[in-house]
Amino acid sequence: MGTATERTLRQAVEDAAAELYVWSLKDIPSDLRDALGAALERETHKVGRRILETIHTNVAVADEGNRLVCQDTGIAVYYARVGERFPLHPARIEEALREGTRRATLDHPLRSNTVHTLTRKPTGDNTGHRIPHVHWEFVPDWDGLDIKCVPKGSGSENMSFLKMLVPADGVKAVKRFVLDSIVGAGGKPCPPGIVGVGIGGSADLAMHLAKEAIARPVGTHNPDPDVARLERELCDLLNETGVGPMGLGGDTTVLSVHVEQAHTHITLNPVAVNYQCWAARRATAHVSAGGEVAMDRDA
């Protein structure tokens, strides 16, 4: 059963996961609220303005009634930053995240979306084989744990793309691929949202980087100046397409573009695109080695 400390920490992580999942589905972060407000102020297209006004009403109704922002509770995706001196083993952390997700689904209750890939038989509690998915980062010389929950709905997740570009075609090819992906997606991923772009590494790493990018707050930029420049250029390009809110035309097709990159092989140039809808939900908990939990809405 483990030591008393291990049991206490496991319970703390489980409780945090249960709260994070529900909290993230009900209360969108302040950076996203600000971005939606700025989009409404600059939107000149009549239909685009009406849709953005409806989105604001949606958020207000959810706030007033303590309701979910969207009926699609998604798949729970967790990002775990684990200090090397955190007393709970990652295997126990993953168990706690799974149980917290299950508890939140059954106790709230939340819509369960998880099914067997072939038979489509539902699990009933938003858990399943390898679900929820946990991304791991291990931090040297630290004894804490950060858990970020990013529920991912199917509308935006279906608009995910990967292409192995020709390195000689350069940045221009990257821009063209991202542009074609978002224009082709149209209103399906519920724009305006956050576009995550992953560049480099291998095919699987590129997609991981794109998913990592959508979990960043709106207004943040990649620390690499070349990558940050590409973020700004892509954002401008996508908002010039006229796709607009919900794909019905307007000035705001995306709220932000986030790019993450890794070094790659000399003959490779993998690029992945992952979309996060306008309700870009996320919530974070910080767990100390002693089991104290601090919730952070905007991390």
Q: Delimit the domains of the chain by residue range.
A: 4-26+70-151+281-296, 154-276
What percent of the chain is modeled with pLDDT above 90? 97
Joined together, the tokens standing for residue 65 give 């009634």
pLDDT tens column, 6-65: 889 999 999 999 999 999 999 999 999 999 999 999 999 999 999 999 999 999 999 999
Task: Give the confidence band of 235 by pLDDT, cuts at 50, 70, 90.
Answer: very high
**pLDDT in the model for residue 2:** 66
Q: Which three-class secondary structure state does DSSP give residue 113?
A: coil
Burial of 47 (0-12, 13-18, 19+ CB in 10 A): middle
d(CA 61, CA 190): 19
How far apart CA 61 and CA 55 sit, in angstroms, is 10
- Provide the pairing of β-strand 193-200 with 254-262: parallel
Domain 154-276 class? Answer: alpha beta
Question: Can you read off the two tokens belonging to residue 258?
Answer: 């986030």
Domains 4-26+70-151+281-296 and 154-276 share a fold: yes
| 47, two tokens | 């239909």
CATH, domain range 4-26+70-151+281-296 = 3.30.1330
What rounded mean pLDDT belongs to the chain?
Answer: 96
Mean pLDDT of 126-131: 97
Region 149-153: mean pLDDT is 95
pTM over 0.85: yes
Residue among 149, 147, 153, 99 nearest 127 (CA): 99
Q: Which of 97, 99, 108 is nearest to 73 (CA)?
A: 108
Helices (H) and strands (E) in the chain, counts: 8, 9
For range 168-179, the mean pLDDT: 98
pLDDT of residue 1: 47
